[in-house]
Amino acid sequence: MRSSRRVAFALGAAACASGSPDTGGGDGADKSEFTCELGSFTKEGGFAPFGENAELELQMGFQGFLLVSAYVGTSERDFPAGDAAMSMVVEGADRIDGKQPGVAFVDGLSDEILIFFTANYLSYYEGRGADLVVRVEDVSRYCVVSASGTLVDDDPCIHTGADPICPEDTGP
């Protein structure tokens, strides 16, 4: 990514950490911060934190919605649930903001956090750089985590619930 985008993203992440409206946080003065990671999850591999230049998988969801799925992992095993606020800036395209209340954590791993796109044009987003910031908070604690990467479409399945519908499952 260009260095100016990195600076802009770093400033945005710092603003989110201080509780800007972009991620729905308060001023944070009465809350303690904890450490968390942003990543993906598969049944086969478990939780995998996003690395540098992550691939953010574009998915077709229920009713044709285009989305990216992410998970938050933390060593805070006693963090039961919180509200998530997300902000994603797609290079040369949209800024996407969203909220997901009541994100539960089990053994330090969040429920799936869904970032819905404003348009459903897969080809429009595929290959573009994206910066994602997620803030999860409850009444006394919060964490802010970010990832940068490229939007990809390596998964041909449609995600409608617990089990995706894949072309190889539909037969000839």
pLDDT tens for residues 96-142? 999 999 999 999 999 999 999 887 788 889 999 999 999 999 999 99
How do beta strands 54-61 and 141-152 pair? parallel
pTM: 0.75
| Record: fold of 3-154 | Immunoglobulin-like (2.60.40)
- Cβ-contact 122, 153 below 8 angstroms: yes
Tens-place pLDDT, residues 37-82: 999 998 888 999 999 989 999 988 777 788 999 999 999 888 999 9
Domain ranges of the chain: 3-154
The alpha carbon of 156 is separated from its chain's Cα centroid by a whole number of angstroms, namely: 20
> pLDDT: is 62 or 35 the higher one?
35
